[in-house]
A and B are shown apart, each in its own frame.
Chain A
Amino acid sequence: MQREEGSVLMIAMLTITIITLICATSLYVISQDSTATTQTTAWQQALAGAEAAVDHGINALNTGVWTNVTGNNDNWYTVTGSLPTSKPRGGSTANAVPGNDNYNYYFPPSLSLQGEACNSVSMWVTIDNANLPLDTNGNQAYRIRGTGQVGAPGPRRVSNQKMDNDLRKISLIYDRLSGAAVTGGQPMATRRIEVVVVPTAQSMWVRGLLAQHQIQMSGGGWIDSFDSSSGFKSTNGLYDVTKRQSHGDIATNDSVSADLKTFSDLRNTYVYGSIQYSGPAIKNITNVQGTVSTPFATDIPIPADPSWASGTYTTVAAGNPGTLNPGTKSHPALYKMTGNFTVPGGNVLNIPAINPGTDNNYVTLWVKGSFTISGSGYVNQGANVHVTYYLDGDVTVSGSAFLQAGTAYASNNQMIAVGTGNTTPTLTVSGSGNYIGTIWAPIYGITVSGTANLSGAFIGNNINISGGASVHYDEALKNLIEGNSTGNFAFASWFEDNSDPARGIIY
């Protein structure tokens, strides 16, 4: 009897032990699953904090509000030195954008959350200029680093999702970015986003063609776009059909002619972009690759003649001035011609680059009479010389009438056709060659004939393109800032730093 009772006890103990082990293993695995879930959730929540922090940075740049940001006496601070790897500290209250040797930082209010993982997301954001150069308009780009941090509830150990560890990089004991011990021994999920923002402008050069009235296309040309500021979308700053973009948009406020006799007709021209219009439907738009929408209404700015004070400009005789020397960017050379401007075949108007610097040669020529460049005549423009023409009479040029040394940019050749005293002014581009520039002629009837390639952007009253001429809208013109005013900031680069230097993991 004793041996039988002992056997029962042992069997009972063994059974209890096995059941206990099974339960313990199950609980351990479930605990690991729970840890994996909370760590995953915390990692995903941290992204919301990082992005919110970046938004705070952009808001500060756009509004210029650096103090009492949310009305709770919370301020940005400025610190001299390079960006920290951990939470920024110290410094004095900021009241402006950071300069070359300092950065601004801010701790936005925490985000409250509900659900799994932590119930609060903390964040901070820094802004510096990273010694980025000024853009062509003299405006500064900025680097914004937003960091979001969320506590990951649970033990300080990796989860059973081993492959998660290379992605989420939860800071269990040491912060993965700073290397310092985590605050309060609490595991943390940290995510950091770095963006570079650049100033943008409310430019009217946001589409290839903009007309007050009708647009006519024929001859087999096409409308598309490129970006002279991007090597991916141009070749050496010039249009390249193999890098064609699809932002060659066109628009008209009223698709019928002013005399109500002629309607806009694209004659199945390929348009690699969208169309916006008001008035009667534009005809033959089968080959429009983008969207066609109506209505459309925009106030096309009407240019005016310059108002130069006496003594600030040079008067030149009618005909061909021969040579016009530029001034500097801050003091452009101003020339006024009261007669007709003419560069006949075999003649050249030289506008050389004479001032030091890559962006320091500016000329403005105001022609009260007609503007004609005929035959093989042309304007020989030095490298990166900016020329602005104010024109009041009729304009007749050939596609190859403007030769820019080095890379030819549309923003360097601006034709502002005012048409003062001219009730029905015309602007004609004929022949072959590449016309690279902008034409702002809202009361002019623009006619493009021949096989010229037009690169830039064009604004007219009526626009008639025939003979196979094509239009290539330069997307870089969107950043052309009239009056050098700065609009809002926009992303130029976006990157998440998910590295773990201590483990040698960078991507």
Chain B
Amino acid sequence: MKISRQRRLGLTLAEITMSLTCGGIILAAVITAGVALQRSFAAVEGYSIAEGDQLRIQDYIAMDCRRAVSATVNSTTNTLTLTVPNYYDASGNPQNPTYSSTYGIQYGSTGGTTTIKYYRSGSNFTREVAGVAKPIATNVSTFTVTAQDLTSSVTCSITFAPRFTNLPGPGPVAGTTVYCNTFLRNAIARQ
């Protein structure tokens, strides 16, 4: 009597069921892990970009506040206007300081100032130098300048909308607010 080799090579129903089950579990785990990793990566990346935006805005405002000779705030438009001395000549080279009995220390023989503005434009945060605007951060929802003692310091708060919003309940926070309080070093030096 001959024994069928085909039947010996086949898989039993139990074997197929077991293998499909195991395969399904592994595939589900891989897919779940992949999705989770992608979500985690997106969240971390969003955090990194937001952190970079926040630091950049704070560093920009702090740098310009420190070297400003004066600061004004338009509370209606929430615009911070800083006036910095014309340190550079028309070619972009640093000028020598000179003394003016009217303005104190100025740069170059004619002195003069350059205006730098900060304001929110849509979801962008804009820095405008001598009328030329350029976004320096995105995803900004509010910008508030505290018009306190503008002869010594400037306080600003900027709220960023959340970048990663695909979260289970209660969902993402409404926004992240950062504050910067900068001493007007150059302005104080001239008082």
Contacts and interface: CB of A to CB of B under 8 A. Distances in A.
A269 B100 CA distance: 35
B93 A492 contact: no
B114 interface: yes
Contact of B105 (A26, A227, A232, A492): A492
Interface stretch (B18-26, B83-91, B158-166, B168-176): B83-91
B101 A229 contact: yes
B56 interface: yes
Nearest to B184: A494
B59 A493 contact: no
B41 A495 contact: no
B185 A494 contact: yes
Interface in B94-128: 94, 96-105, 107, 114, 116
A20 interface: no
Contacts of A22: 38
Looking at chain B's contact residues, the main secondary structure is mixed
A274 to B, nearest CB: 15
A40 B85 contact: no
Contacts of A507: 84, 88, 114, 116, 129-130
B190 A495 contact: no
A497 B98 CA distance: 17
Given A163-B137, A506-B92, A495 B186 contact: yes
A507 B100 CA distance: 23
Contact of B190 (A26, A40, A493, A498): A493
Contacts of A475: 191
Contact of A501 (B93, B99, B129, B188): B93
A77 to B, nearest CB: 22
Residue of A163, A166, A231 with most chain B CB atoms under a 10 A cut-off? A163
B189 A506 contact: no
Contact of A492 (B49, B94, B96, B190): B190
A1 to B, nearest CB: 11
Interface in A137-161: 141, 143, 161
Interface in B50-64: 52-53, 55-56, 59-60, 63
A33 interface: yes
A36 B49 CA distance: 10
A55 interface: no
Interface string A178-213: 000000000000000011100000000000000000
Interface stretch (A99-107, A126-134, A327-335, A419-427): A126-134
A43 interface: yes
A493 B135 contact: no
A496 B92 contact: no
Contact of B104 (A131, A195, A230): A230
Interface in B62-81: 63, 66-67, 70
A496 B63 contact: yes
A167 interface: yes
A232 B56 CA distance: 32
A492 B104 contact: yes
A296 interface: no
A504 interface: yes
A167 B54 CA distance: 13
A491 B185 contact: yes
Contact of A231 (B99, B103, B137, B189): B103
B32 interface: no
A498 B96 contact: no
A492 B189 contact: yes
A44 interface: yes
A506 B88 contact: yes
B88 A499 contact: yes
A142 to B, nearest CB: 10
Nearest to A163: B136
A164 B134 CA distance: 12
A207 to B, nearest CB: 15
Interface in A214-270: 227, 229-232, 237
Contacts of B190: 230, 232, 492-493
Interface of A: 22, 26, 29, 33, 36, 40, 43-44, 130-133, 141, 143, 161, 163-164, 166-168, 194-196, 227, 229-232, 237, 475, 490-499, 501, 504, 506-507
**Which 8 residue pairs of A and B lie closest in terms of their CB atoms, listed nearest first?**
A231-B102, A491-B189, A493-B105, A161-B52, A494-B186, A494-B185, A33-B48, A506-B88
